[in-house]
């Protein structure tokens, strides 16, 4: 089972996404053999989390079994959250300009669902050190560090910072990542702590998938990264 | 799978910020990449001349040298003259205006490139066709490249590392400057390569990675999964680059 932990649908203002559709993603997933992808709608990451979350749910309903929903929580708008029919909660501290360790996220941690948060080394909003802080406060909440901190010069530090926080997993999507770095993260953190993601449609799913498919990994490790770990984290939450 | 795969953007040598393979050949073998155009990292992160010397010393037909040129006044340039560039016989040279702090569209760089293009330099020992100029988009801007193309009609330019966030500006550049080609390795957004191919043709897109600093696994995988015809994929994998270089081999 191949599970993409980090996906999106919709458009984004900073740049052109030639194919922002769910249907485009499904076609790519079919070609690559990806079972399901967890998505947040980019409208939800942006200014309207409530409406964007509804759109993500509609996408998931149109394609049963292919999309899990990461419902976006905007701490400024106190977005309503649900506990059923979703993979968990998506946080984007940088877009929302609210630090990951800010108390305004308390509602999210109390929900107990898995959380996927954007992570960015040296960002005042989402530096990997904040993942360690939050994990120490809420050790029972599965937490995915999106992009493993985004910048290659911070990957090893990110792995080190959360080494003693087993609830934190390193999600590997990002335009600066490499197959070599995925293999290094498996070596540094253990294959059980690394989770595959692509950031599609923001990024091209084929590039993210290929980065893992051609990374110098053993078959057993690759199987954990590309789906085994996320399946374990989601448990019955899988679509 | 493409018939032939050539990476138009590869590095050899050490980098100061990571522990990466200095020899690209094992990764080329592992990923099924037949050949590569290579720049030496010493030219980027140390001394351009020393790096170029190390590059030529590789002397492997699988690794085609892309030496670095630093246009400038005497004493501030590499190599000493445009004639020396042509004497290399390189089919592609790389300019790094940001890293080497020169003005890509300033009078000196334009004079150097004009001298290369026109073959007007006395004592020219290079090939009949002037070298392609490769520039990393992070070292310049689409507007500056458009100016370069306007000022030097016929100069073939390969845009390295175009990324995905400037797709609109890149498209404008390709629309306005027919002698601009684009490396696809970092055209990362969903369907971005097909979007460019539909508008400008696969014959203007070139497989390249920027490895080992940038990723080679994803771009190599993408080549096998493009939503294009086999002919278009073959062009991107190697054919467009051969045409860009004026392949007479």
- Chain B interface includes A23 (CB < 8 A): no
Window B:83-102, CB contacts with A under 8 Å: none
What does the pLDDT average to over A3-19? 96
Percent of chain B with pLDDT over 90: 93
For A204, the token pair is: 């091209």
The 10 Å Cβ neighbour count of residue A236 is: 4
Residue B219's closest CA among B233, B240, B198?
Answer: B233
Total residue length of chain B = 249
Q: Mean pLDDT over residues B50-77, rounded? A: 97
Q: Is B206 helix (H, G, I), strand (E, B) or coil?
A: strand
Q: Binning pLDDT at 50, 70 and 90, where does residue B120 land?
A: very low
- Would an 8 Å CB–CB cutoff place B210 in contact with chain A? no
Q: How far apart are CA A71 and CA A150, in angstroms?
A: 21
A26-72 per-position pLDDT tens digit: 999 999 999 999 999 999 999 999 999 999 999 999 999 999 999 99
Nearest to A214 among B187, B214, B221 (CB): B221
Whether B26 has its CB under 8 Å from any CB of chain A: the answer is no
pLDDT digits (tens, 9 = 90+) for A158-198: 999 999 999 999 999 999 999 999 999 999 999 999 999 99
Q: What is the pTM of this model?
A: 0.95
Give the H or E element holding residue A7: strand A3-9
Q: Do B195 and A204 touch (CB under 8 A)?
A: no
Q: Which of B215, B216, B224 to mutate to test the interface with A (most CBs of A within 10 A)?
A: B215
Distance, in Å, from the CA atom of B212 to the CA atom of B201, rounded to the nearest integer, reads 28
Q: Tell whether B215 is within 8 A of chain A (Cβ).
A: yes
Indicate the pLDDT class of residue B119, thresholds 50, 70 and 90: confident
Query: Per-residue pLDDT for B123 more than 60?
Result: no
Instruction: Give me chain B's average pLDDT, please.
Output: 94
> Class assignment of domain A3-233?
alpha beta
Q: What is the pLDDT of residue B249?
A: 46
Q: Which residues of B touch A33 (CB under 8 A)?
A: none
* Integer CA distances (angstroms), A58 to A5, A22, A52, A64, A67, in order: 19, 10, 10, 10, 10
Cis peptide bond prior to A100, omega within 30° of 0: no
Q: What is the pLDDT of residues A13-24, one digit of tens each?
A: 999 999 999 999
Hey, is the C-beta of A178 within 8 angstroms of any chain B C-beta? yes
Separation CA B221–CA B206 (nearest Å): 15
Query: Is B218's pLDDT higher than 50?
Result: yes
What residue spans define the domains of chain A? 3-233
Tokens describing residue A229 = 């770990």
Q: What residue of B is the nearest CA neighbor of A178? A: B215
Task: Say if the Cβ atoms of A204 and B188 lie within 8 Å.
Answer: yes
Helix (H, G, I), strand (E, B) or coil at B190: coil
- The shortest CB-CB distance from A16 to any of B168, B211, B219 is to B168
Question: Tell me, what's the pLDDT at B122?
Answer: 44
Contact residues on chain A for B221, CB-CB shorter than 8 A: 206-207, 209-211, 213-214
Give the model's confidence band at A95: pLDDT under 50 very low, under 70 low, under 90 confident, else very high.
very high
Q: Which is more confidently placed, A2 or B118?
A: A2
pLDDT at A237: 62
For this complex, say whether ipTM is above 0.90: yes
Residue B128 confidence (pLDDT): 66
Q: Please state, in angstroms and as integers, the Cα–Cα distance from residue A172 to each residue in A90, A101, A181, A209, B98, following that order.
A: 16, 21, 9, 10, 30
Residue in chain B closest to A20 (alpha carbons) equals B190
d(CA B182, CA B203): 10
Tell me the C-alpha to C-alpha distance, in Å, between residue B82 and each of B50, B99, B182: 18, 20, 25
Give the per-residue pLDDT at A236.
63
Average pLDDT over residues A63-90: 97
Q: B121: pLDDT confidence band, cut at 50, 70 and 90?
A: very low
Q: Could you give all domains of chain B from N- to C-terminal order, each with its CATH number?
A: 6-245 (3.20.20.140)
| Per-residue pLDDT reduced to its tens digit, B162-189 | 999 999 999 999 999 999 999 999 999 9
């Amino acid at each position: 089972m191949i599970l993409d932990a980090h996906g999106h649908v919709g458009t984004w203002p900073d740049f052109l996404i030639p194919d922002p559709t769910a249907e485009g993603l499904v076609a790519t997933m079919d070609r690559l053999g990806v079972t399901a992808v967890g998505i947040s709608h980019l409208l939800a990451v942006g200014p309207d989390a409530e409406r964007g979350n509804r759109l993500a749910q509609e996408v998931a309903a149109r394609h049963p079994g292919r999309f899990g929903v990461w419902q976006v929580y905007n701490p400024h708008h106190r977005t309503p959250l649900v506990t059923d029919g979703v993979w968990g909660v998506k946080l984007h501290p940088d877009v929302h300009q609210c630090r990951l360790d800010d108390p305004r996220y308390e509602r999210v941690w109390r929900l107990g669902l898995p959380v996927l948060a954007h992570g960015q080394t040296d960002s005042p909003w989402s530096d990997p050190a904040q993942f360690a802080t939050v994990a120490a406060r809420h050790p029972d909440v599965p937490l995915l560090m999106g992009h493993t901190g985004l910048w290659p010069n911070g990957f090893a530090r990110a792995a080190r910072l959360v080494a003693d926080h087993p609830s934190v997993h390193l999600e590997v999507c990002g335009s600066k990542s490499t197959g070599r770095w995925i293999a290094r993260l498996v070596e540094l953190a253990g294959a059980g702590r690394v989770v595959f993601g692509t950031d599609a449609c923001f990024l091209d799913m084929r590039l993210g998938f290929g980065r893992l498919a051609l990374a110098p990994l053993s078959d057993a490790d690759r199987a954990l990264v590309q789906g085994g770990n996320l399946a374990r984290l989601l448990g019955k939450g899988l679509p | 799978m493409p018939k032939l795969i050539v990476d138009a953007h590869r590095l050899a040598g050490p980098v100061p910020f990571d522990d990466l393979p200095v020899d690209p050949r094992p990764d080329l073998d592992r990923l099924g990449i037949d050949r590569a155009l290579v720049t030496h990292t010493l030219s980027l992160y140390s001394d351009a001349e020393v790096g170029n010397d190390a590059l030529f010393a590789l002397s492997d037909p699988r690794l085609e040298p892309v030496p670095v040129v630093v246009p400038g006044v005497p004493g501030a340039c590499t190599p000493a003259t445009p004639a020396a560039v042509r004497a290399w016989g390189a089919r592609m040279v790389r300019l790094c205006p940001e890293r080497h702090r020169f003005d890509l569209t300033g009078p000196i760089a334009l004079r150097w490139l004009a001298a290369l293009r026109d073959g007007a330099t006395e004592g020219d020992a290079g090939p009949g066709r002037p070298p392609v100029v490769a520039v990393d988009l992070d070292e310049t801007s689409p507007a500056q490249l458009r100016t370069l193309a306007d000022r030097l009609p016929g100069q073939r330019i390969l845009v390295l590392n175009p990324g995905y966030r400037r797709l609109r500006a890149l498209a404008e550049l390709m629309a306005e400057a027919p002698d601009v080609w684009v490396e696809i390795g970092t055209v990362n957004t969903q369907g971005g390569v097909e979007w460019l191919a539909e508008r400008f043709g696969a014959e203007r897109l070139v497989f390249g990675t920027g490895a080992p600093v940038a990723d080679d696994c994803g771009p190599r995988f993408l080549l096998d999964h493009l939503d294009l015809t086999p002919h278009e994929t073959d062009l991107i994998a190697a054919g467009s680059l051969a045409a860009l270089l004026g392949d007479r081999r």
